[in-house]
Structure 1
C-alpha cells in the first residue's frame, strides 16, 4: 500500500484536504482538483464549495439559475459561470460542453443544486412534484451521465453528490422532497459500485439542517426546536475533505449516522423521539 501526500489548502483555518491513501493498481483521481463543475453555485453549500475550491487554486465552472448571484460568486472565485436551469432537457449537455471548452478535463463534479418543498403531501400539485423530481433527481443523474464517460476514459475523476438526511429518514411535511433525496442515496450507491476500480470515486454528502436560503425558497421557514441549523461552509468543508479521501459518504453533523441506526434498529422508538423533537 502506498501513500501519496499533497499540500492542503485552507479557508478560514479549515483543512479541506488530507493525506490520501491509494491501493496498488488503482489510478488515483487528481486531488486537489485542478478543475471542477459546481452546480447550485449561486448560494448555500454550492457557493461555499466554490469558494473553498478557488482557495485551493481550482478553476471552476459555476452552474446555477440566478445569473446575478452567479456573477458575484464568479467574481469572488475568478471562475467561469453558466446560468442554466438544469431541470430543462438538454441543459446537462450544454454544461458538459461548456466545461470541456473552458476547463478541458474535469477532475471534480459537485452536484449541489436542489429544490425544496414543504406542506401536506395531499395538497401538493402534480406540477410541484414533477419539478422536484426534475431538479433533485433527473438533473444530477443526467449531468453525471453527460460527464462520466470522459472521466472513465481518463481513468480519473471525482463525483460529489449532495443529498439530505431527509433521504435517509423521511421528514413529515416534506414527503416529496424526502423521496427525491432517497433516490440520490440509491443512485450514489449503485453508481459507486459500477465504477469501482475504474479511477472514479463517488461520494454522497448527507447534511442535516443547513443555514441557507433553502427554507425561504421552499416557502416555509424552519421551525423545529432541534436540531439547529449548521453553517453551509462547514458542510462544504467536510464534504470536500471526504471527497479528497475517496470516502463513500459523509454525514454532517456526524451524529446523524447514529440517528439512522436508531431508525433501523428501533423504528418505533425513533418515531417517538421524532415526535417529541419535531
Structure 2
C-alpha cells in the first residue's frame, strides 16, 4: 500500500514521527523528514536505511512549522523530491504542564502556533498539490486531549480540540476530490513529549511524568497507526491505558467522565 508513495512527516526527529518513519521505510515508501533539528533528522534517515530505505529514498528537509516564510519553499522541495506528495503526516507538536492561573498568554500562543496554526499553514500549502494530483492523504497526530480536558493541559487540550475540529471539517470538504483525512488520537505514549512540554512561563518542563513513562511503547504505537491507515480508518485511537477507556465514558456518560477528571491529581 505504501510502496512507491511519497510521505512527508513533520516532527520526524523523535517520538511518534520517528517511529512512523521507520514503519513507512520498511514498507517501501519514499520519505521527506522534517523537524527543526537537522542532526536528529540525519540520525533518523540513517536508521531508515536499516529498515530497507536507500540513501536516495529519504529527503531531510529541516522546517519550523511556525515560520510561514519557510513553508512554501519546503512544500516545493517536498513535491520536487518525487514529483508528488501522497501523504502529509502533520505530527509536529508540543505539550503543556501548568495550571491556567499560572500560564502566560505567550505560552498559550506558542502552543497554538505550533500545534494548530503551523499544522493549518502546512496543510493549506500541500492541499493544492494533492488537488492537482486528484489524490492524497492528510494524517494528523491529535490526542486523547483533543477529546477530553484534564488538569494542567488547558492550552494543550484547547489546541488539540482545535486540530480535531479543523481536520474533521477538512475531511468533509475534500472527500469528493479523492483526498483522505485521518486523525490519530494517541493516549499516553512513551516519548519525550513531557520533557519538552511548556511550563506556565514558557520554559521546558524538563522531566518525564508518570503517565508518559507508563505509556505504550512508541514502536508499538506506530504499528497500530499503520494498521489503521491500511484499513482506511478516519480516526485511529491508540494507547493501552485507562485514558483510552475514558473516550468511551465521555461518549456515553459525560458527567461521569467530568467527575473522574476533576478527581485526578
Instruction: Please confirm whether the aligned pair reaches a TM-score higher than 0.5, indicating the same fold.
Output: yes
Deviation track 1:12-35 (CA, whole Å, cap 9, x = no partner) reads xxxxxxxxxxxxxxxxxxx44521
For residue 135 of structure 1, report the CA deviation from its aligned partner.
Answer: 0.5
For 1:59, which of 30, 41, 64 is the aligned residue?
Answer: 30
Paired position in structure 2 for 1:271: 258
Structure 1 unaligned runs (5+)?
Answer: 1-5, 7-30
Cα distance in 2, alignment partners of residues 91 and 181 from structure 1: 23
Report if aligned partners of 2:13, 2:34 keep a CA contact under 8 Å in 1. Answer: yes
| Partner SS, residue 143 of structure 2 | coil
Deviation track 1:78-103 (CA, whole Å, cap 9, x = no partner) reads 31112221111222212201102222
The answer to whether structure 1 residue 118 and structure 2 residue 92 are counterparts is: no
For 2:14, which of 17, 21, 43 is the aligned residue?
Answer: 43
More off after superposition, 127-136 vs 83-92: 83-92
Deviation track 1:95-125 (CA, whole Å, cap 9, x = no partner) reads 2011022221111111111011211112112
TM superposition score normalised by structure 1: 0.83
| Partner SS, residue 115 of structure 2 | helix
Structure 2 unaligned runs (5+)?
Answer: 49-54, 198-204
Paired position in structure 1 for 2:189: 210
TM superposition score normalised by structure 2: 0.87
For 2:72, which of 83, 93, 100 is the aligned residue?
Answer: 93
For residue 226 of structure 1, report the CA deviation from its aligned partner.
Answer: 9.2
Paired position in structure 2 for 1:230: 216
For 1:109, which of 69, 88, 103 is the aligned residue?
Answer: 88
Cα distance in 2, alignment partners of residues 94 and 72 from structure 1: 23
Cα distance in 2, alignment partners of residues 245 and 92 from structure 1: 31
More off after superposition, 127-136 vs 221-230: 221-230
For residue 128 of structure 1, report the CA deviation from its aligned partner.
Answer: 1.3
Cα distance in 1, alignment partners of residues 42 and 145 from structure 2: 31
Cα distance in 1, alignment partners of residues 63 and 232 from structure 2: 29
Cα distance in 1, alignment partners of residues 210 and 14 from structure 2: 23
For residue 48 of structure 1, report the CA deviation from its aligned partner.
Answer: 0.6
Q: Kindly indicate which of the two structures has a greater share of residues assigned to strand.
A: 1
Deviation track 1:160-192 (CA, whole Å, cap 9, x = no partner) reads 100011110012101001000001110111011
Cα distance in 2, alignment partners of residues 142 and 246 from structure 1: 25
Cα distance in 2, alignment partners of residues 72 and 225 from structure 1: 28
More off after superposition, 110-119 vs 82-91: 82-91
Report if aligned partners of 1:33, 1:108 keep a CA contact under 8 Å in 2. Answer: no
Report if aligned partners of 2:8, 2:34 keep a CA contact under 8 Å in 1. Answer: yes
Cα distance in 2, alignment partners of residues 119 and 167 from structure 1: 17
| Partner SS, residue 204 of structure 1 | strand
User: Does the C-alpha gap of structure 1 residues 58 and 215 become closer, same or farther in structure 2, counting only changes over 3 Å?
Assistant: same
| Partner SS, residue 80 of structure 2 | helix
Report if aligned partners of 2:141, 2:183 keep a CA contact under 8 Å in 1. Answer: yes
Cα distance in 1, alignment partners of residues 169 and 121 from structure 2: 15
Cα distance in 2, alignment partners of residues 243 and 274 from structure 1: 30
| Partner SS, residue 177 of structure 2 | coil
